[in-house]
Structure 1
């Protein structure tokens, strides 16, 4: 049976649809039994969808915002 560690290692191939039939069945079997991995794959799919919809032109602004928020977080500690 596929372990959680193996599933995480193959997560990119899972999300990109690059698995063989046998590998897909092993992943499906594991996801049926493992709530944590189901949650992980769901979060990865959501992240992938959000990144697809982000405009490329605002990348610098997003980086600046992330840096600003990180600075604020450090100041509050």
Structure 2
């Protein structure tokens, strides 16, 4: 039986849909059936990777100026 740490170490492979040996994939899926903590971890990891693949919203001119002002050295 797999331990939670085994699932965590290979969760990215599951999220990415990587090719796993059938026995390994079955063992990971079986662990997910019995472990709610790992199911939650995998859902959170999936949501995070979805979010990271989205482009950031564009900055408007006011926000851009505010960022640039914060980057200016003090005392100018």
Q: Is 2:56 the counterpart of 1:47? A: no
CA offset digits 1:25-62 (Å, max 9, x no partner): 1111000000000000000000011111133977xx8x
- Could you list the runs of 5+ residues in structure 1 that have no partner in the other structure? 65-77
Aligned length: 60
Counting only pairs closer than 5 Å after superposition, residues 51-66 of structure 1 correspond to structure 2 as: 51-55=52-56
Q: CA RMSD in A?
A: 2.3
More helix by share: 1
Q: Distance in 2 between matches of 1:9 and 1:56?
A: 32
Residue aligned with 1:10, SS: helix
Which structure: larger Rg?
Answer: 2
- Could you list the runs of 5+ residues in structure 2 that have no partner in the other structure? 68-76
Deviation at 1:22, TM superposition (A): 1.5
Aligned position for 1:8? 8
